A and B are shown apart, each in its own frame.
Chain A
Amino acid sequence: MSTSALRSPLLRVRGLVKHFHLPRRSLFHAPDVVRAVDGVSFDIWRGKTLGLVGESGCGKTTTGRAILQLMRPTAGAVYFEGTDLCQLSDKDLRPFRKGIQIIFQDPYASLDPRVTIGTAIAEPLMIHKICQTKEEARERVQELMRRVGLNPYFINRYPHEFSGGQRQRIGIARALAVDPDFVVLDEPVSSLDVSIQAQILNLLQDLQAEMDLTYLFIAHDLRVVRHISDRIAVMYLGLIVELARGLDIYDAPLHPYTQALLSAVPWTDPRLARQHQRIILEGEVSSAANLPSGCRFHPRCPMAEDRCRVEAPALREVRTKHWVACHLV
């Protein structure tokens, strides 16, 4: 790794916004806007993992897709090695696609049931002209399969012949076939059984070290995120409310939402479960189509004051490398 790569982040996200328009309810009514991602900024350094956590509907998946330009952002910039991907046309974007890949939650839904896994993994190799001949591609596919823990003997089988964990390995092989720099992992282990989850997490860590990969790890399971991330960003209703080194967040969460989220984590130590004072949040996440005024968390916040209902707090660095968006911190 060169020193310049260490100094500047591989990925810089600035003011990322993605709004969706709902169908008009009536002719005289302006269409409702869902502000799924509403101004998100962060950096990810090469070889590191940023964990993006939050509850369903907080915009974490949309953030991942907008970074990859799978959905074009409404506003903002995504600098990948200095180039703003948002400014590129689809055609100019193509060479960059090789460097940025995604692994989905449901590997079954993301694989074509009528295509053998050998063909599925070889496809990106042919599209990006990494392999010139079919024989060459086949060899590379077998090597990839071995690398992710699949028996290369199964190269001509179809996705339905594999278990969930094996399918996720296929998804990983396919994403890594083009030797990317940056991978978005969107809930990669949530649909897997506990024992298989651990296998896949170990594999992802090994691959990261071996291939110098940079991860954006999107998940809702805070135990998994703590395990795999260097830094963690907590999202709530389209905004990052806290961003810090993983251990800082878990040892001393500053935002009331992060505190509640962490107090709800079901750790497997019964002694911890007993002494833990759970902060039970009232109500549920508001809708991104009808955002509360001021701080978006104030309707559920146990500490909300008048100011929180009116004024939206900005993300500030309150301790070294620890950013929080809360008036009370």
Chain B
Amino acid sequence: MNTVSLPHMQYAIHEKSEASGHIGGMMQIDAEHSEIPLAPVGEAQERPLLQIKELQTQFETKQGIVKAVDGLSLELYEGEVVGLVGESGCGKTMTALSIMRLLPENGQIVAGEIGFDGVNLLQRSGEEMQRIRGRKIAMIFQEPMTALTPTMPIGRQISEAMEIHLGLSRQVAKERALELLAHVGIPSPQARFGDYIHQFSGGMRQRVMIAIAFSCQPRLLLADEPTTALDVTVQAQILDLIKNLAQEAGMTALFITHDMGIVAGSCDRVAVMYAGRLVEVGSVDDVLLKPLHPYTQGLLGSVPSLHSEPGERLSSISGLPPDLVQLPPGCKFWPRCPLADERCKQEEPLLEQYGASQAACWKADYRSDSISESK
């Protein structure tokens, strides 16, 4: 496949399969379709639906090798919504693109395993991945304007995915696409079916993308900053929409965001990412109310809360995010950490259990003690 800019790929793939032997492709997919059970609802907490093990994704740049994701392990259980939080460049988007196997050309998964529903995605062929993308794992991108095709009516973009993945006839796919448009809150879907993406407002564009993502009832949804570009009131509408649709379908979701507020309102569990690795994982209540890692504490302290006195100083994190080409030895956060000592500068801490959460910090032990004492 020719490399186009990233987010287009999913749809570029559809176009290609239409051009090159559509019928053959559809027959294959038909066979595939019959063996896919629909997402079971309510069967929680057994085997994780998604199991990422020691994932390493690297990029070759002029400056050197960038370790965008460096030994990340994370599990998503059936039906849960997990937030992946971090600042720009921490590798959260690259984690999602690694799962989708949609990395840019200079990026490569060099080690690890991505288990999805019992199979390792990293061992699937490109063709097999095409059938998984959109059908079993769907992704919502931050910018619908760049993720959707500007030259194809939006109705067609939704129905095409269903024709390819579900083997529906053109007519049936169109009917379902109309239902979907109505379901995601697009007024007069019949009239808007033939419109192009530029004819929609920001919030409506995101609704179209959600309709596409949900069209084939995938089991896993990856949402990459789905509301960052939207206004506050529209953001609330879209978050509620995704949450309700996912709940209806019993879908598992990974919410990628930089905003702890979105995590607080939309997720069950949260994983905090810094410099390509996870530094804290736990339930939303544990992590947001009793953060163990100094980075998590700094992130939470950086956002003004409803309880803070106006005008009081925010407990910001000093310094700048690290240069991923030249990471410091030891804990990657130590140059910005108020608690760092000699050990932090030399030995890298791994994720360990402290109370109900996991944290990668030599000082977490002390902090979890002090938290239980203060209780």
- Chain A interfacial positions (CB closer than 8 Å to B): 55-56, 163, 165-166, 193-199, 201-202, 205, 220-224, 226-230, 246-247, 250, 260-261, 263-273, 278, 280-281, 284-285
Contact = CB atoms under 8 A, between A and B. Distances in A.
B264 A278 contact: no
Contacts of A166: 320
B232 A261 contact: yes
B201 A284 contact: yes
A269 B314 contact: no
A228 B311 contact: yes
Contact of B310 (A247, A260, A285): A247
Contacts of B314: 198, 201-202, 227
Contacts of A196: 316, 320
Given A268-B261, A273-B264, A197 B302 contact: yes
A86 B303 CA distance: 38
B259 A267 contact: no
B315 interface: yes
Interface of B: 87-88, 201, 203-204, 231-237, 240, 258-265, 284-285, 288-289, 298-308, 310-311, 313-318, 320-321
Contacts of B302: 194-195, 197-198
Contact of A198 (B233, B289, B307, B317): B317
Contacts of B316: 195-196, 198-199, 201-202
Given A193-B321, A226-B310, A270 B315 contact: no
Contacts of B264: 266-270, 272-273
B231 A56 contact: yes
Contact of B305 (A246, A268, A281): A268
Contacts of A270: 264-265, 284-285, 288-289
Cβ-closest 9 pairs across A and B: A266-B261, A198-B316, A227-B304, A198-B302, A264-B236, A55-B231, A273-B265, A195-B317, A198-B314
A267 B266 CA distance: 11
B261 A226 contact: no
Nearest to A270: B264
Contact of B231 (A194, A220, A280): A220
B373 to A, nearest CB: 22
A260 B303 contact: no
Nearest to A281: B233
A194 B237 contact: no
B240 to A, nearest CB: 6
A193 B306 contact: no
Contacts of A228: 310-311
Contacts of B201: 284
A123 B13 CA distance: 52
Nearest to A51: B310
